[in-house]
Structures are given as structure tokens and as C-alpha cells.
A and B are shown apart, each in its own frame.
Chain A
């Protein structure tokens, strides 16, 4: 209960901004900058984050134990070296990655010259922008939480900059900012829901320089190896009914026709042809896919989609694609036929494309295929069976660490290494088919996935990337063959993790994998509710209130109305004066108000004893009651320092029950 006039207030009365930073404020500032730096670590060059962390730590220690300014001779080279180093690391000063690396660097270097309150304030303002920019590199839930936590030391710093503020213990400095942030959540959510989204970006091409992950339009044996060790989610699928059995979980991405001796590419597909006709042979499956951003145009759907989703097109080989690259989480609905027959007739152009092989490669494989063609004649099914039998019985193994292949990659694989994964098998299988005169093509996509029973959805990871083959059989059309299944059936039935059993690193242990799969529910929720909240879903927000497809104006009106509601609630809270009077005084005030309505108002400077007597005279019908009340009040108020609990409670009840009866005079 002691006042705290600040000691130095008199020395610098009028210049708040010029006040030197005290130790607490500087500590908090360093913590805030460190948190921002931590949020940026995942995308910074490997050498940059330790270097910046070192600068931060040295500066903190220097100001704490030695004090004083950092000499300009030390500052200038650092400030000059930062842009040069970033230019050297990225090759260009433009773009999101070098830009934010530069911003983080500048923020850390700003500490070197932070000596006054004003410096700290500008560092915090800039720092909040830099913290937000970390989310441009990934908006996962943990990252968002990390950045939100970075707001705490920032706000605590601003609070510590206040003159004459009491200096609480270090941990307590965060209490008020945390409370304020929590109290701000309703307003923040209203704003988040109703701030009208832009229909087209104002500048730049979002995601243009984002690192591309996922399946590429080119497939060569060994290319998938980065994908197969990538545990990030690729897509999540929620089925309307029961999920299809594992052996049918083929998610079709790209169809690859062209082989150049090494790699398969999807580039020379005929774009404008009508989709191959399709005959479903069993019940269809309807489902919703949530696709993580890929930076590419194509979509994935369960083999084989019947029609493209809204905003997408379907190619002749039933690949789905969108006009704009997928830079944000995308939801779409598809209906697929897991068991079907594709294209019962084959055009000449398709046949040529399905038989294309580069001349002068892989002589031994061609010889083997010729041999099969002679033996089985035109029976495509028998030839394919021979190839699968070769993989199954010919000493082939499934190995993620496949040895490299030479110029004749198919020959090397079939007769040399005999070790590989889906790409090797799909590539060799299609090569053999084509060499035997049977039209065939490679399909890439995902296979398998983890069925999350709790969330009721199928989680497909990048590591579920898969390649298989389609062979054209007369009368049946394009038919799926998965040569990998011939080598290791578990890969198809149990998924990628089982396929690679025993080959994973320690961090891919089973129990860890299981835990991560469960944790994915939270990620999915985050993706669906926050990250995937796009303008389309925003427009649907007002549907329950009778506004179909709300436009900009309606959203702005809703934003204004709801914000006003939340704001008036907080204003009421702010205006609320807590009644700190003791209950006795409050009860007495109430009694006096009631008596005043009955015509007996307490006069100024009238003591309670006299007042009660006067009231008893004025209301003779309640004389006894008023006498008792007066005596009880006097005893409680004046007989002891603090009234005892029991009599006080009795008195309060008496007052509550007392109703003055107006006398007719």
C-alpha cells in the first residue's frame, strides 16, 4: 500500500522516449527478438541462425555485465555484411525467403543500437511484422502457436517501457500481456471470420518461390527417395461411407507416357481430348479431399474419378488439374469408381504413345520382352503375368536404398542390381510391356494412407507416394498392374511404413509414427478450420442468417456489427466499477435508499442514530423493526473494528427483508 514515485522521474520529466532502457526491458526485448528468430529458423540458411543467435547472446551479455554502447566500428561492418551474406546465400535480394532473412537479421542487429525506450519500441513494432512473416513459410499449428507465444515477450517489453511501472518478478511480467491476449480472442476471432478476403492477390505470385514438395511431372528411378522419407501430410480424405479396402487406395495423380531411356514424363499428353470412357463395375465412392498446398496444378483422386470437382478439369487419361497452382489448402469433392474398365477401344494416337520407347536403350530387356511376345502371342494378360512372376520369383528385393543405375537403367535393374522400390518396378514393367508390343503407361500418385479411426479420415503422407502401371487389355481397357505388390505385397496392403519395415531411421519408430498419426487429428482440424478458411467458405458464413453467398459489403456489415457487439461488451467491463465498499455500508446505503423512497431521506450531516430514530417516528408501524435495525447497525459499525460474521449476516438478511410501508399522512 505504498506509493511508488519513480526515482528518476525528476531528472527526465518530459522525454519518455529518450529514457534509457532499464535491464528488465532490455532482457525482455532480447527474449522477444530470440523468439522471432526461433520462428524463422526452419527456413533460414543453416549458418545464419547460429550467427544471429551469437550476435544476440553477445549483445545481451555485453549490456548486462559491461554496459555501454556498441562501438560504431563494430556495428557498421555487421550491418554491411548482412545483406552481402544474404545475397551470397540466396543469389537474389528479392523474394520471400531472402527478404525475411534480411528482416530477421536487421531485427537482431537493431539490438546493437537499442539504448533508449524509443529504440525498443521501434524494434518491437518491426519485430511483430517479422514474426508474422515467419508464417508465410508454413502455417502449421505448432508454428502459429510459436509465433503467438512470441507476442508475449513483445507486449511485456512494451509494458516494461512504461515510466514508473512497478517491476514485478520476471515471470509476472508476462501475466498481464497473457491475460490481455486471452481477453482479446473473441474480438480477434470476429475479425478473422469477417475480414473480407481478397479474391485475387494485390501483388506477387504467392507461393512462387516456395520450395516444391510432392510428386513432380517427371519420374526417374530413385527420384522418389526424398518423398518416401518425408512424413508431411499430402492429403486427407474423408469418405461419405466406409473407406475402401487398403488394396484399393490408389490416389491417381499423373499419367506418364513418354520415356527417354531414363525418366518418364507427363508432358506430351493431349490436353483437349475428352476423358476416356469409364464403366464402373462396382459401387462408387464419394469423398472429400483436403489437399496440402503443392505449388502445382494437378489434383489427386481415388482411382478412378468419374467427374472433375468444381474449378477443375479432367484430361483424357482422367487426370485432374486446376487452372491456378495450389498455394493454399484446397478442399474438393470427387466421386470415384474403384473398380472400373477404362477405354474399351484404343485410338491409333494413343496406341502409338502407349508403345513409344527410345531407340538404342536396354537391349537385354527388349530381348526378354521379344521372347515373351513369341511365347504368349498377343495375350497381354499372360505377358503381364510373366513380368510379375519375374519380379516375384527372380530374386528381386524392395529396398529404399537402391543402388544407382547406369545408362541402360532398365537392364541394370532387371539383370544387375535387382533392388529398388515402386519407381524401379513401375518403370521396368511398363518398359517390358511396351517392348512386348502391349500399350502401357506409368501412373504416379499416392497409395495407402493411415486410417485415423478417431477423426474418421484417411491421412496420406508424402511418404505414401507411389508409382504403378496401367496396361491396355483388349476388351477390358486400361487395367491397373502394381508390380511393387508382386515384390512386397505389404507395401500395398499395409502401407509405405510396412513396405519399408526395418529400413527406417530411429525417428520413424512405430510407436512414434502411431503418436504422430493421432496428433494429425489436431493438424487436420487446424487445416480445415483456420488454414483452409477461404473466401468461398467465408461467403457461406452468413447462410444460416438468410444471406446466400455474402458479398464484400455484407461481410463488412457483419464485421462491423459483431465487432460493435464485442466492443460494447468489453466497454461495459471496462466501465464497471467494482463496489469495494464493505457489505455493511452497502446494506446501509440500500436501506437508506428504501427509506428515502418512503419519505425519510437522511439529511446531510445526520448521524445514523438520529436518522434511525427519526425514521422510527415517521414510520410508526415499523417502529420496532427500525429500532432493532438501528441498534444492530450501531453495534456492528461502532462496537468493534471489524463486524463478526454471524451478526453481520443476520443484519444483511434483515435489511433485505425490510420493506418500508409508506404512511398516509
Chain B
């Protein structure tokens, strides 16, 4: 009880301090990449273990002085100096580290969104770094002059642009006595796709699977002729046309799935709320992409397609995500 009360009091005081003290809030403003850490933005405080170790050192100092034991005093001074210098090492672990790239992944609302953060080490090795952001924490280490991608996952709730939360990169290297940390607020935004509805009617134009037969079936529209390549089936050779040419020619038909064209129309959906329409369109886009179909997405302000493929898929979902 008391601990919880104290903790909430502490976090209140911390939030207040962040509001009041410009030094703490200065680094909350998003900034462009690359972000290099330097001495003005690296903070250091002792860890809880560091405080306890300090208390032990104080006890050692007092007893060495009390017993006028110079060897013990020398040892205590040595250990204290080493502990102190470990603070400088902690600082050096962060100093010069830079965040070069932020590559947000894709996620539907409600599922975690992976973000890859590209760090480069600069001239010295960085052991035992830790990245915290939005409840996720990652440990990583970098060799000198190396770079690494660290992936964190952000929780998502609603569709739309998601600004990256403030990230904290910290280290307690080498002895866990001091924690050095710095805030990173890259001005990169991730995009959260709308959550597709779970069930609902199929999209208009989505045919049953059986109707789409393999290439070369009767009734396919002839698209053109091309030169014979080893491995083409003999029944596709256009013998009559080949007789007039030096080489064999082969008939080319339009690909069967090209015919499977869907029109995913915002206006065709009625009787649903704004968000439910978006959810349905998102499901249709998903299904169309899964069926390798061509589709056209008609939105109130724009029309996307007809097209197919992964690029079209992401464009459509992004457009849905950004709908007002």
C-alpha cells in the first residue's frame, strides 16, 4: 500500500518536473535523423545497486579510519575510485552512439507494430545497451564501427499515423553501479492499418475458386504471339503463323487471374458505420490480395487501381488508414 502510494507520488513528481524543467522536456520534441548522442543529452544516476554499493563503501571507509588501518583504507579508496570511473565508462558507452534509421513495419490496429531502429556504434564498441520504448525493452551490443537493427514492438489500438513514442537508450555497463541514459524522439511516424472485420459478405466480383482454370483453356482471349522458348508446350505453337516466319511462334493468352477483377466500392456499402465500412474494405483488400486478384478500391475522395500486387495492397491499406 505505502509503496504503491509512494510510487504514484514519485511518478506525479516526475511528470511535474518534466513539465516544469525545460532541460527534461527539451528532448521530448521530435527531431530528425540521424540522432547522435553527445554529452549534453546523456544523463547518469546511480542504480539502486550503486547506492547500496556506495553505502558499503562508506562503511568500509569508516571502519578503515576507525581501526587506523591504512591498507584497508587504500583498498577502499581503490574500490571507490574504480566505482567512480565506471561511471565514465557508462558515459562512454553511450557517447557517440547514433540512431541512423528508423524503419517502421506494418501492422493492423490491435496487433503490435514492429519498428526497426538502426544504430551505428561509431569508433568504439558498445557493450550492454538497452532500448526501452512503449513497454518493450531490448538488450543489444555493438562492436566498434558496426551497426545493428534493433526491433521494438509498439502496441496499437486505432488506425492512422502513429508517432513513435519517446525511446530511451540506456546502459549500466560495466558494473551496474550507474545507469546512463538518453532520450530519443525520432520524428518518424508509423502507419497503423485499419483492423479488418472478422466476418462479412464477400466482395463483389470475387468468384469461386473452380472457375479459374489453368492457362491455355478454351475461350481465353488471345493476347499475342512471341518467339518460341525451350520448354513451351507444343500445343501453344501457332503453326500457321510460324510458317510465314523463320522461327517458331507461340500463342500467348491473357493470364486467367487478370480476368478476376474486383471493384471494392466505398459507396456500395450501405447501412454500416464509418469505421465498419473501413473495416469491411480492409477485409476485402486482404482477401483480394490473398487471392492474387486485381482490384480497384473506390474511396470517397480517390480511386486506387485497378492494380494488383504488394505495392497496391499497401497503398490501399494506407489510404484506408488515413481516411478521416
Chain A interface residues toward B at CB < 8 A: 1-6, 9-10, 13-14, 16, 121-122, 125-126, 128-129, 131-133, 135-136, 139, 143-144, 147-148, 151, 155, 158-159, 161-166, 176-177, 180-181, 183-185, 187-189, 191-192, 195, 197-198, 201-204, 206, 327-328, 530-534, 567, 570-571, 573-575, 577-578, 580
CB <8 Å contact, A158 and B176: yes
Known: A185-B78, A191-B81. A125 touches B49 (CB 8 A): yes
The listed residue (A3, A162, A571) touching B174 by CB distance below 8 A is: A162
Say how far B153's CB is from chain A's closest CB, in angstroms: 9
CB <8 Å contact, B77 and A188: yes
User: What's the Cα separation between A151 and B53 when bound, in Å?
Assistant: 14
23 A-B residue pairings within 8 Å (CB atoms) = A122-B52, A125-B52, A129-B56, A129-B60, A132-B60, A135-B71, A135-B72, A139-B72, A151-B79, A151-B82, A155-B82, A158-B174, A159-B174, A163-B128, A163-B130, A177-B82, A184-B82, A201-B66, A570-B88, A571-B88, A574-B92, A578-B124, A580-B122
B139 within 8 A of A: yes
User: What's the Cα separation between A185 and B145 when bound, in Å?
Assistant: 31
Interface readout for B75-86 with A: 1 if CB under 8 Å, 0 if not? 111111110111
CB <8 Å contact, B129 and A3: no
CB <8 Å contact, B84 and A187: yes
The listed residue (B53, B75, B130, B147) touching A3 by CB distance below 8 A is: B147
Q: A5: nearest residue on chain B (CB-CB)?
A: B140
Known: A198-B66, A202-B66, A570-B85. A188 touches B74 (CB 8 A): yes
Say how far B121's CB is from chain A's closest CB, in angstroms: 9
CB <8 Å contact, B72 and A158: no
CB <8 Å contact, B85 and A183: yes
B31 within 8 A of A: no
CB <8 Å contact, B53 and A125: yes
The listed residue (B81, B139, B140, B174) touching A185 by CB distance below 8 A is: B81
Known: A13-B138, A163-B139. A147 touches B75 (CB 8 A): yes
User: What's the Cα separation between A593 and B212 when bound, in Å?
Assistant: 69
Q: B148: nearest residue on chain A (CB-CB)?
A: A3
User: What's the Cα separation between A189 and B70 when bound, in Å?
Assistant: 12
User: What's the Cα separation between A204 and B65 when bound, in Å?
Assistant: 12
Interface readout for B164-185 with A: 1 if CB under 8 Å, 0 if not? 0000000011111100000000
B95 within 8 A of A: yes
The listed residue (A121, A197, A574) touching B176 by CB distance below 8 A is: A121
Known: A9-B140, A181-B82. A139 touches B70 (CB 8 A): yes
Known: A195-B77, A570-B88. A4 touches B141 (CB 8 A): yes
CB <8 Å contact, B172 and A162: yes
The listed residue (B75, B77, B150) touching A5 by CB distance below 8 A is: B150
Q: In the assembled complex, which residues on chain B have CB atoms less than 8 Å from the CB atom of A14?
A: 137
User: What's the Cα separation between A151 and B124 when bound, in Å?
Assistant: 26
Known: A14-B137, A126-B56, A187-B85. A327 touches B80 (CB 8 A): no
User: What's the Cα separation between A1 and B149 when bound, in Å?
Assistant: 13
B62 within 8 A of A: yes
CB <8 Å contact, A192 and B77: yes
B68 within 8 A of A: yes
User: What's the Cα separation between A330 and B128 when bound, in Å?
Assistant: 49
B142 within 8 A of A: yes
Known: A159-B174, A162-B128. A151 touches B88 (CB 8 A): no
Q: A96: nearest residue on chain B (CB-CB)?
A: B67
CB <8 Å contact, B123 and A135: no
The listed residue (A1, A125, A534) touching B146 by CB distance below 8 A is: A1
User: What's the Cα separation between A80 and B96 when bound, in Å?
Assistant: 53
Interface readout for B88-100 with A: 1 if CB under 8 Å, 0 if not? 1101100110000
Say how far B109's CB is from chain A's closest CB, in angstroms: 23
B143 within 8 A of A: yes
Most buried by B among A133, A192, A202: A192
Known: A128-B60, A139-B71. A198 touches B176 (CB 8 A): no
CB <8 Å contact, A13 and B137: yes
Q: In the assembled complex, which residues on chain A have CB atoms less than 8 Å from the CB atom of B77?
A: 187-189, 191-192, 195
CB <8 Å contact, B123 and A148: no
B39 within 8 A of A: yes
CB <8 Å contact, B67 and A201: yes
Q: How large is the interface on B (under 10, 10 to 19, 20 to 34, 35 or more residues)?
A: 35 or more
User: What's the Cα separation between A125 and B83 when bound, in Å?
Assistant: 12
User: What's the Cα separation between A147 and B69 when bound, in Å?
Assistant: 14
B61 within 8 A of A: yes
Q: Which of B24-74 contact A (CB under 8 A)?
A: 39, 49, 52-53, 56-57, 59-74
B136 within 8 A of A: yes
Q: In the assembled complex, which residues on chain B have CB atoms less than 8 Å from the CB atom of A577?
A: 95-96, 123
The listed residue (B80, B122, B128, B147) touching A165 by CB distance below 8 A is: B128
**8 smallest beta-carbon distances between A and B, as pairs:** A3-B148, A139-B71, A184-B81, A164-B139, A13-B137, A187-B81, A580-B123, A162-B128
Q: In the assembled complex, which residues on chain A have CB atoms less than 8 Å from the CB atom of B88?
A: 570-571, 573-574
CB <8 Å contact, A6 and B66: no
Q: In the assembled complex, which residues on chain A have CB atoms less than 8 Å from the CB atom of B149?
A: 3
Most buried by A among B72, B96, B172: B72
B162 within 8 A of A: no
User: What's the Cα separation between A449 and B176 when bound, in Å?
Assistant: 52
Q: In the assembled complex, which residues on chain B have CB atoms less than 8 Å from the CB atom of A164?
A: 127-130, 139-141
Q: B172: nearest residue on chain A (CB-CB)?
A: A162
Say how far A437's CB is from chain B's closest CB, in angstroms: 50
Known: A125-B53, A181-B82, A185-B78. A578 touches B123 (CB 8 A): yes
Q: In the assembled complex, which residues on chain A have CB atoms less than 8 Å from the CB atom of B61?
A: 195
CB <8 Å contact, B81 and A3: no
Q: In the assembled complex, which residues on chain A have CB atoms less than 8 Å from the CB atom of B141?
A: 3-6, 164-166
User: What's the Cα separation between A353 and B149 when bound, in Å?
Assistant: 93
Q: In the assembled complex, which residues on chain A have CB atoms less than 8 Å from the CB atom of B52?
A: 122, 125
Q: In the assembled complex, which residues on chain B have CB atoms less than 8 Å from the CB atom of A180?
A: 82, 85-86, 89, 174
Say how far A12's CB is from chain B's closest CB, in angstroms: 9
CB <8 Å contact, B139 and A188: no
Say how far A528's CB is from chain B's closest CB, in angstroms: 11
Say how far A14's CB is from chain B's closest CB, in angstroms: 5
User: What's the Cα separation between A195 and B64 when bound, in Å?
Assistant: 11
Known: A162-B173, A192-B73. A4 touches B68 (CB 8 A): no
Q: In the assembled complex, which residues on chain A have CB atoms less than 8 Å from the CB atom of B56?
A: 125-126, 128-129
User: What's the Cα separation between A77 and B202 when bound, in Å?
Assistant: 72
CB <8 Å contact, B176 and A534: no
Say how far A322's CB is from chain B's closest CB, in angstroms: 15
User: What's the Cα separation between A148 and B74 when bound, in Å?
Assistant: 10
User: What's the Cα separation between A421 and B142 when bound, in Å?
Assistant: 73
Q: In the assembled complex, which residues on chain A have CB atoms less than 8 Å from the CB atom of B49?
A: 121, 125
Q: In the assembled complex, which residues on chain B have CB atoms less than 8 Å from the CB atom of A181?
A: 78, 82
Q: In the assembled complex, which residues on chain B have CB atoms less than 8 Å from the CB atom of A4?
A: 140-143, 148
User: What's the Cα separation between A166 and B130 when bound, in Å?
Assistant: 14
Q: In the assembled complex, which residues on chain A have CB atoms less than 8 Å from the CB atom of B146?
A: 1-3
Q: In the assembled complex, which residues on chain A have CB atoms less than 8 Å from the CB atom of B85?
A: 180, 183-184, 187, 570
Additional A-B contact list (6), CB under 8 Å, known A2-B146, A165-B128, A180-B86: A4-B141, A162-B173, A188-B78, A188-B81, A197-B68, A202-B66
Known: A3-B146, A164-B127. A204 touches B139 (CB 8 A): no
CB <8 Å contact, B71 and A176: no
Say how far B56's CB is from chain A's closest CB, in angstroms: 5
Q: A134: nearest residue on chain B (CB-CB)?
A: B72
CB <8 Å contact, B140 and A3: yes
Say how far B116's CB is from chain A's closest CB, in angstroms: 11
Q: In the assembled complex, which residues on chain B have CB atoms less than 8 Å from the CB atom of A206?
A: 66-68
Q: B137: nearest residue on chain A (CB-CB)?
A: A13
User: What's the Cα separation between A532 and B122 when bound, in Å?
Assistant: 48
CB <8 Å contact, A534 and B68: yes
User: What's the Cα separation between A9 and B152 when bound, in Å?
Assistant: 11
The listed residue (B75, B143, B173) touching A132 by CB distance below 8 A is: B75
Q: In the assembled complex, which residues on chain B have CB atoms less than 8 Å from the CB atom of A135?
A: 64, 69, 71-72, 75
Say how far B303's CB is from chain A's closest CB, in angstroms: 38
Q: Which of B276-297 contact A (CB under 8 A)?
A: none
